[in-house]
Chain A
Amino acid sequence: MITGRFFAAGADRRIAITIFILLAAAIIVPLLNLAVSPTSAFYVPAYIVALTGKYLCYALLALALDLVWGYCGILSLGHGAFFALGGYAMGMYLMRQIGSRGVYGNPILPDFMVFLNYKELPWFWYGFDHFWFAAIMVLAVPGLLAFIFGWFAFRSRVTGVYLSIITQAMTYALLLAFFRNDMGFGGNNGLTDFKDILGFNVQADATRSALFAASAVMLALAVFVTWAIVGSKYGKLLMAVRDAESRTRFLGWRAENVKLFAFTVSAVMAGIAGALYVPQVGIINPGEFEPSNSIEVVIWAAVGGRGTIVGPIIGALLVNAGKSWFTGVLPELWLFALGGLFVAVTLLLPKGIIGMWDSWRGNARALRAASVVEEAAAKVGVASATSKPARSPARNPGEWSWSDPEPQAAE
């Protein structure tokens, strides 16, 4: 049944094309890097492979955020924390793979532990010499944190900006914690100097290409999973919670469980993104927990178009390509550009690039007949106005037309 929908027309075709492009890139880019001679016009240099691989990880992170923000209305300002936790789990595996090749040549303890006078491996490092264990941790640690955090937060109905602020506090607390040397995660310097992954040299072109391919495949998989979630009955519930949480609750649904599921799935996706990111950039340090990083992820999703599946991917790729270009050419101006982007997108492009594209084509018929996905995309602008506290139906019975947007006192 899902496959039937998958090959259908409209927005689903957009998903299919995206997955197709990603899978094709996973094959073609490594081929162009490895099999084509460096003099050829089609040759893709290794650094481009690494760079785009990194962007794909960001895109996966943005997609994860979009699942909770675009489809469920939870603006998490702490998704960078899940990303970094996944990255640390992978980093710990890579650290253990160094073995006795470190500067101090200790076969058990990573360099920084020798340096900090650790006598034996802390208990939470056990098992990280096996890839399967690290892989499970990449999924489990962010997922568990999100589950516990969400279980508390959603149960006590912490919503809106309050939730945003405590997610920010969460990543800030983790930032401070990971900066401490006593934590046993390398403190300020984090984990770096990786040598091998699964027995292959991390620096080698072939490994980099493989990591790129893995990122692309994983992103394609995430797109498919998100599409399947959003298109299911559960997806409708997700959007119902986003648009009118109390109404959904009054209809007998458990809004907190709906949110908790989305939040946890999203955190696991973010963790995977982090785990793929770390071997490609070769370092993970507490800076990844910076609250500003998490907010930047939000703008990627917003630029591309939240509440769409393709949007966050396009947004992440575009903004990061812009960042790379700006910081190379005009480093002074990058923060102006980024800040301007935040303001411009929220003011002028509330639906993002995808939303603008759709309305620009003026294809009203496509909009009306579109599947859930596109409906969601079109709805975002209106939805946010109706879903806000003081405009909740229970408070303002009947139709009250108010021409201009108005501020709402926080309650």
Chain B
Amino acid sequence: MKIFHAMGLTLLLLLTTLSSSGAAEADLRAIIAKFATVTDFSETGAVVQELTATGDPAVERPLAALAEGNLYIRTADSMVFVGKEGDENVQLFDPLSGEAAGEASEDDITKITVNNTLRRAIRDALGTLTLGSKDPTVRIAAADTMFKTPDAANIEPLDAAIASETVASVKALLEQARAASILVSDKPDADKLAAIALIGSRGDRDAVSLLTSVEANASGAVKDAATAAIANINSTLALWDAGQNIWYGISLGSVLLLAAIGLAITFGVMGVINMAHGEMVMLGAYTTFVVQQVIRTSFPGLFDWSLVIALPLAFLVAALVGLVIERGVIRFLYGRPLETLLATWGVSLILQQAVRSIFGPTNQEVGNPSWMSGSFDIGQLAITWNRLWILVFALTVFGVLLYVMKRTPWGLQMRAVTANRRMAASMGIRTPWVDALTFALGSGIAGIAGVALSQIDNVSPNLGRGYIIDSFMVVVFGGVGNLWGTLVGAFSLGIVNKFLEPYAGAVLGKIVVLVLIILFIQKRPRGLFALKGRAVEA
């Protein structure tokens, strides 16, 4: 009789659980109410486990609140609430539905305390729960957490989740998480070997760390398989690392290209060593800063366009300053390159101090527009948007400049003057104008380089100093008077630099590059792509 009674009750309970969520909610509430009676952490942990065991996604809210220390008990009626601390009182919410349930002063409620062990338990529990979430990104995050903290208990919920999963990519992640869980379970070796194969195909650093711990604990075939998988992954990762270094190198190369390309023109066409070139870059960066300041105060909506607006302005500012320098100083020093070097150095000091007097010596804040911030991954490569855009920008500038030099009348005149000044003058080319405009063009390009560099470097009066020696190295290495030489020079220096860095450290790598260039110049004093001439000395 009693058995029938019990069976009937169980059946009833089962039915109600299946049929109505209201009854399930009541159950959940019953379990949650137990929080009011707990006296220590282990009892709290038991309640958490009980909640997790229901497998109901609704428990996510109270559990998350508990982990953050936001679950309260009202002293008066032992009811459990999620609390949100206000100015004076704590706002109370229903733990399941999340509906507001009035306020209470802090004296009337008690916080349910948690320790780190509990927090970890809750996080794991939530990870299991969120597998059933409707949002794929949440499921991915859950799979990821389970992969990193594998637990044999995860296998069953994962099996269920894999069965119901429809998105292929999420399913793959879930299977990897399941494989990770299998490795720490006591399943037969055959399953574990399959799991290792699956994880080995994942091929990232997380997989390596997981397999390393497996390798340490396992024996026999599993251990061997793990060792082999680790070696396999590491060799792939080494390739990715090389790829990452190449990318860093290309990125550095694009920066060098931007900084050096204007110098290449003035040096190539006029033989003028413009020591103030770095300051033109700095002027461009400060123009960006001013444009952003104006936009911030007057047209906040245009912020994403600030760089586009700054580009022509920076070009104009730097080109104008360049024109003034050419007409005011350099014009009188033609044919005396060493003295030009000194005079432009003096100009650079004046420009630096002028900027320091106007804007102050500290770094200025130049913001990234939204389309330049953040990053994305290709395989194991992390690529930031601003670096990518600078590469695109550098190549665009290079392309435009190449077009100007090769396809426009002005470029033709520039090349004619470079090749043979007197003959060009005899043909009616106004060489002084070509000189002035070339210098303005080179300076203007330095200005727009400053716009790009303001995105990745500190905008301070010393900005240009950091680039001037590197730019010279690029120009001298690539060969003067040849844009392609500058391109090749910039990228090869960038890549060599970044490849040396992991082995030699950043500073030593740079020193090695400098020494290599010095040696290289001994071998080819005119750079990689020297202009051919019949001069006895050049």
Contact = CB atoms under 8 A, between A and B. Distances in A.
Given A156-B525, A169-B518, A395-B536, A409 B270 contact: yes
Nearest to A179: B507
Contact of A169 (B270, B421, B514): B514
A409 B265 CA distance: 10
Nearest to A389: B538
A343 B271 contact: no
A395 B417 CA distance: 16
A173 B522 CA distance: 17
B535 interface: yes
B515 A173 contact: yes
Interface stretch (A122-130, A219-227, A311-319, A332-340): A332-340
Contacts of A295: 342, 345
Contacts of A411: 271, 480-481, 526, 530-531, 533, 535, 538
A203 interface: no
A153 interface: yes
Interface stretch (B32-40, B177-185, B331-339, B362-370): B331-339
A172 interface: yes
B537 interface: yes
A52 interface: no
A391 to B, nearest CB: 7
B19 interface: no
B350 A336 contact: yes
Given A346-B342, A411-B480, A405 B349 contact: no
A8 interface: no
Contacts of A170: 514, 518
A398 interface: no
Contacts of B517: 166, 169
Contacts of B522: 152-153, 155-156, 158
Interface string B484-514: 0000000000000000000000011011001
Contact of B335 (A152, A172, A391): A391
A245 interface: yes
B348 interface: yes
A298 interface: yes
Chain A contact residues, majority secondary structure: helix
B297 to A, nearest CB: 28
Contacts of A179: 507
Contacts of B343: 342-343, 346-347
Contacts of B469: 168-169, 172, 291
Contacts of B345: 295, 339, 342
B507 A408 contact: no
B335 A166 contact: no
A197 interface: no
B476 interface: yes
Contact of B270 (A168, A345, A347, A407): A407
Contacts of A157: 525, 537
Nearest to A332: B357
Given A160-B338, A335-B353, 16 more contacts: A156-B521, A157-B525, A165-B473, A166-B518, A168-B469, A169-B514, A173-B514, A173-B515, A180-B507, A299-B346, A342-B345, A350-B339, A388-B336, A395-B534, A409-B268, A411-B530
Interface of B: 267-273, 329, 332-343, 345-350, 352-354, 356-357, 417-419, 421-422, 431, 435, 465, 469, 472-473, 476, 480-481, 507-508, 510-511, 514-515, 517-519, 521-523, 525-526, 530-531, 533-538
11 contacts: A164-B338, A166-B521, A172-B469, A245-B537, A292-B465, A339-B353, A343-B343, A347-B329, A395-B534, A411-B480, A411-B538
Interface of A: 75, 149, 152-153, 155-162, 164-166, 168-170, 172-173, 176-177, 179-180, 245-246, 291-292, 295, 298-299, 302, 332, 335-336, 338-343, 345-347, 350, 384-385, 388-392, 394-395, 400, 404-411
